[in-house]
Structure 1
């Protein structure tokens, strides 16, 4: 049995903790033979290979008496880069428990569990469902809307350094002035509405006008400003911090993506550049 989960790009500007999109990088879990204890085979560096692995911890939270198995874990989702690496593992862990425990969980139950474990729905929801997902979590249940994402390329600049979500959250304010909150909310409403109606020009302007988090976090990612400037020169729709960063994501017409990447490479920034596509499948299980 194989469990495949896509990477995700969350927030998308003002959709803070509530909007995300699935993109074409993947975590694949292959369930091998039963074993006397959990064993997770991988080449992902300093990550536990026993029951301390987040995959197994998540599965055991869902069903504590699962029979141990050997697991093969392969992922091209970079760790701590703002592309939902931990969320993909959480979603895979829930599905691992669902399959081995024969739980027959509904899509809503999987989403609620994933959000409760992760804390926010913006990464786990698109990892589950694919596409663009707008979601809200009230502390108990998650309500979500799944929709197509307008046709474009996702050009990701993935820095060579990590940025932990806890550090990225540390620069955010604890309160907002009421009038500023209203303005920030109106920008978010416009961004979501424009995405849902396929108007990337309007969506892009609203994404870059975010007041909730990017203006505070951009100082943590020195590459953001030069990438955004170059993106504007190349007619991109928007440049935003993916998740908590440090990955910088640019939405651009597909026929403009390759020339943009060529120019981006000439900036000599320390990191990798990838053209990603929308993932429409989300979680996939094959037997």
Structure 2
């Protein structure tokens, strides 16, 4: 537990609005997410049934922050922690202040593995702040604020809305607006992730992408992204073709050797495998479990194999 003294209501949220009473508390669950899903680079995302739990309590002054589980001892336990920043941003957006807060993060989402841990932290903090404010912020506002932390909406929108989301960015003289809609998914579709022990940097792997791609490749991905919408909604038999990609995975392959090998191995067996976000986790979408021989091989090689449902968005599970 880290304790950081602060000057009072100015520390968290708006000092000019309503001040939350000491003792008010909220606990939220926020799901992991996977972005791209093959062809939907920076556009498609899915919420996965692996959750971080965040409890925020209003205290008399300052900041107390505790992290357990994934990231414990590695992430900061002060005002620079992403959840703390998100709680403050949410309160400020609602025009509400708190004299101080205690934040407890119990993390199950692996960090730097392509499962949206940073987006989940931002969403969790914002949804917790919204819970403290009795739902003052709309879902669209939460998507906007969370995406501002991320710089793009795919993971953040999935963790807010749940399910599979299609997201996009609108730019105008008034700034950047992040938008997303949730789509219906065939209930038979499940997700399996293969999580390696090593980590990956999104900034590093994004830096491997070229500034432009051939028109043929862009057209290829447009067709596959369109097919992905149909496959997810009602025709899962087309998931293998729908998850083909020419925009990003091959360019990132030199930095994701083991991931690339597993994606190819799984696809050779007819399984719709992709790189999860920027990697190094592998995402498999389908209607059945991973074959036993592939699961055993992955586990022998040190991969953690998780069978995850497609999840709903972040939610308040307790409040007082």
Pair 1:6-2:31 in alignment: yes
Does structure 1 retain, via aligned residues, the 8 Å contact 2:192–2:290? no
In structure 2, the CA distance between the partners of 1:26 and 1:246, relative to structure 1 (3 Å rule), is same
Q: 2:74 aligns with which of 42, 46, 55?
A: 46
For 1:21, what is the secondary structure of its paired residue? strand
Aligned position for 1:148: 185
Instruction: Give, in angstroms, the shift of residue 50 of structure 1.
Output: 1.9
Instruction: Give, in angstroms, the shift of residue 101 of structure 1.
Output: 4.2
Aligned position for 2:227: 190
* More strand per residue: 2
Instruction: Give, in angstroms, the shift of residue 253 of structure 1.
Output: 3.3
Q: In 2, distance between residues paired with 1:233 and 1:69?
A: 51
Aligned position for 1:167: 204
For 1:223, what is the secondary structure of its paired residue? helix
Pair 1:206-2:229 in alignment: no
Q: 1:15 aligns with which of 35, 40, 45?
A: 40
Does structure 2 retain, via aligned residues, the 8 Å contact 1:153–1:257? no
For 2:98, what is the secondary structure of its paired residue? coil
Of 188-197 and 89-98, the range deviating more from structure 2: 188-197
Pair 1:59-2:91 in alignment: no
Of 49-58 and 6-15, the range deviating more from structure 2: 49-58
Flag the structure with larger Rg.
2
Q: In 2, distance between residues paired with 1:80 and 1:223?
A: 16
Q: In 2, distance between residues paired with 1:129 and 1:39?
A: 29
Instruction: Give, in angstroms, the shift of residue 282 of structure 1.
Output: 1.1
Aligned residues: 281
Please show how residues 177-256 of structure 1 align to structure 2 within 5 Å: 177-197=214-234, 199-207=235-243, 209-232=244-267, 234-236=269-271, 238-256=272-290
Pair 1:126-2:158 in alignment: yes
For 2:148, what is the secondary structure of its paired residue? helix
4+ long deviations beyond 6 Å: none
Q: 1:31 aligns with which of 33, 46, 56?
A: 56
In structure 2, the CA distance between the partners of 1:229 and 1:176, relative to structure 1 (3 Å rule), is closer
Which runs of no fewer than 5 residues in structure 1 stay unpaired? none
For 1:123, what is the secondary structure of its paired residue? helix
Q: In 2, distance between residues paired with 1:47 and 1:217?
A: 26
